[in-house]
Structures are given as structure tokens and as C-alpha cells.
């Protein structure tokens, strides 16, 4: 696969935008987070709705 400089610049801009959106979401959720909403996926594997939503944004 061959990418032009323009393709890579466009991709980098999109990645930066998604990263900023996800960072803003995480920052917002930090003040709203409660320990009682943590779920256990497996042994030593904890997750919350914040993790799940951040993954979907990305």
C-alpha cells in the first residue's frame, strides 16, 4: 500500500481530533466517576463505563 504525504497528513489530523475528543471525555468523566460503577471482567481486569465509552470513541 502506498500513502501520499497528503494521505498521511489527513490521517494524522483525524487521529489528533479523535484523541482530543477522547481526552476531553476522560477529563469530564474524571469528576463524575464513582468506584461503585467498576466491573470486573476477569482476574485483575477491571473496567468501567468510562473505559468502554473511551474505547468506542477511538
d(CA 4, CA 51) in angstroms, rounded, equals 34
> Would you state the cell numbers that stand for residue 50, as one nine-digit string?
468510562
Kindly report, residue by residue over 3-24, the tens digit of the pLDDT: 999 999 999 999 999 999 999 9
Above pLDDT 90, what percent of the chain? 45
> Would you state the cell numbers that stand for residue 5, as one nine-digit string?
504525504
> Would you state the cell numbers that stand for residue 42, as one nine-digit string?
476477569
C-alpha angle 17-23-26 in degrees, rounded to nearest 5: 145
pTM of the complete model beyond 0.85: no
How many separate domains does the chain show? 1
Domain that holds residue 11: 5-57
C-alpha angle 48-41-44 in degrees, rounded to nearest 5: 95
Amino acid at each position: 500500500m502506498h500513502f501520499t504525504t497528503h494521505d498521511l497528513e489527513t490521517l494524522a489530523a483525524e487521529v489528533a481530533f479523535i484523541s482530543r475528543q477522547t481526552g476531553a471525555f476522560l477529563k469530564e468523566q474524571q469528576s463524575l466517576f464513582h468506584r461503585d460503577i467498576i466491573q470486573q471482567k476477569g482476574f485483575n481486569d477491571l473496567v468501567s463505563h468510562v473505559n468502554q465509552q473511551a474505547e468506542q470513541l477511538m
